[in-house]
Structure 1
């Protein structure tokens, strides 16, 4: 059974490298995902970290835009309406990251688990890679948050109260609520990775990124890497946002995102393939 499964996946990985006119099957998408995961594992540590760091910086542009929007509309519309409208600008950073091939933890969570399930990589290598990607994403986000907190008020495009309002909005729920919300966010990001593998055209890929991340923002689900920038900016600008709030949110959101991407995407998709392999 195991040998047959391995042979079938190896065949699918080869098929995934060739262009096809018809829509890809489940097995072909899985093969492509495993191949993509392998390419990420083969990157040097410094290349992996720099790409992750770049993603952390780029996701800051989503925060910059929603902070400017909040400042512009805060005296014109209700707070609830403003946060719903932010969803239309929220995807910009994700489009920059995914289009530019930077490495974002939540997009790669499920993808990096697949080579482990396929026994091509070991779990310790997965955990090391995850840690490196998360660290790069967080450091990039910290720097971008600091830049925006310093620059926004000086340009007159963001008021200081906006940083606190956004950070409070992100951290307002209890831990279990944030955890389950983060699971759904990680699930959506894992599905996005799967859909992007199936898509062929750049316009289709941009639309998918916009759709999935826009839904994530409109619903108000918790994304650990965007949330890192949002809450850290509040921490830098307001005494009402504490280190305890930041660390609690970050730990819970990262764990929830990881569970959503691994359990509800990688494990389910891979299990569906395994159950389809004939002995």
Structure 2
């Protein structure tokens, strides 16, 4: 009886705290002057609302938007292979991989500004309604599953198309496909996991930063900056990497299915950890502590 009473009091206290948090978030609805920097609470409130909107979308809509993102991110890969082939033999190979930084953001710009659903951009965003107790963990995992499936399927389709059309048009060869795939998978599993955590952290920050940027030019510059860091430092992104490694799997004997499976599972896990822990959880808890 005593334990039940204590649990009831604890539940009441938790409910009271949640109402206080929701009330504070409501007060942070964006009514500020665009010329002034946005407050932490205003950005968090907008991110929460965006996350809730995705949860309310139909399964078909989520799959289609995420499939589209998987296709569109492939344009980064198209440019990367083209740049690699153009410079191959003219400059050192390690220099070529650094030059890819300049074209890597292209697909991200298309996906993010086009409002398609990219797993790494949505990871922290979709976690916020769960942290705010408006959605369950099971519904989050189901939604993540749909977005990942759509992203991967779009990437598979784009990889299959590009390894045919690239050589057919003479814009890149299969050597570029193999080299890029091997570069992505050449690291040990622990390195891939930690690298993917850092990439997920950056992508979660990108989603947060984009909420504070109003102009299209500012948003494009933010996308270039964040994804450029990922490209220059060779951090592992599960969705771009899906196209890179799957294309190698289809066209090169040096990339095995085990290589693909290991890379994709570790990069998805790492990206999710980075986005949820280092962005969604920390940003949300920082706001909650300010309320309490």
**Band of TM-score, shorter chain:** over 0.9
Which structure 2 segments of 5+ residues have no match? 1-16
Larger radius of gyration: 2
Which of these residues, 18, 24, 49, is aligned with residue 8 of structure 1?
24
* TM-score, with length taken from structure 1: 0.97
Aligned counterpart, 1:137: 151
Q: Structure 2: how far apart are the matches of 1:142 and 1:30? A: 34
Gap change, CA 1:30 and 1:240, over 3 Å in 2: same
Contact 2:32-2:38 at 8 Å conserved across structures? no
**Which residue number corresponds to residue 271 of structure 1?**
285
| C-alpha distance 169-41 of structure 1, shift in aligned 2 (>3 A) | same
Structure 2 counterpart of 1:71, from 73, 85, 100? 85
Q: How does 1:86-235 map to 2 (within 5 A)?
A: 86-235=100-249
Unaligned runs of 5+ in 1: none
Instruction: Tell me the secondary structure at the aligned position of residue 173 of structure 1.
Output: coil
Task: Name the Cα RMSD after superposition.
Answer: 1.0
**What SS class does the counterpart of residue 211 from structure 2 fall into?**
helix
Structure 1 residue 10: Cα displacement: 2.8
Offset from partner CA, 1:228-254 (integer Å, 9 cap, x none): 000000001001100000000000000
Question: Shift of the alpha carbon at 1:132?
Answer: 0.2
Distance (whole Å) between structure 2 residues aligned to residue 23 and residue 236 of structure 1: 48
Report deviation, 1:161. 1.0
Kindly tell me the number of residue pairs found equivalent between the two proteins: 276
Contact 1:144–1:229 (CA<8 Å) still a contact in 2? yes
Q: Secondary structure at the match of 1:16?
A: coil
CA contact under 8 A between 1:138 and 1:228: conserved in structure 2?
yes
> Using the alignment, how far apart are the partners of 2:213 and 2:65 within structure 1?
23
Question: Contact between 1:17 and 1:32, CA under 8 Å: does it hold in 2?
Answer: no
Distance in 1, matches of 2:52 and 2:31, equals: 13
Secondary structure at the aligned position of 1:92 is classed as helix
Post-superposition offset of 1:28: 0.7
Q: CA deviation at 1:20?
A: 4.0
Q: CA deviation at 1:11?
A: 2.8
Matched, 1:259 2:273: yes
1 CA distance for matches of 2:151 and 2:161? 16
Q: Deviations over 1:66-122 (max 9, x none)?
A: 000000101101110000000110000000000100010000000000001001111
**Taking structure 1 as reference, are residues 184 and 128 closer, same or farther at Cα in structure 2, changes over 3 Å only?**
same
Instruction: Give the ranges of 4+ consecutive aligned residues of structure 1 lying more than 6 Å apart after TM superposition.
Output: none
Shift of 1:157: 1.0
TM-score, with length taken from structure 2? 0.93
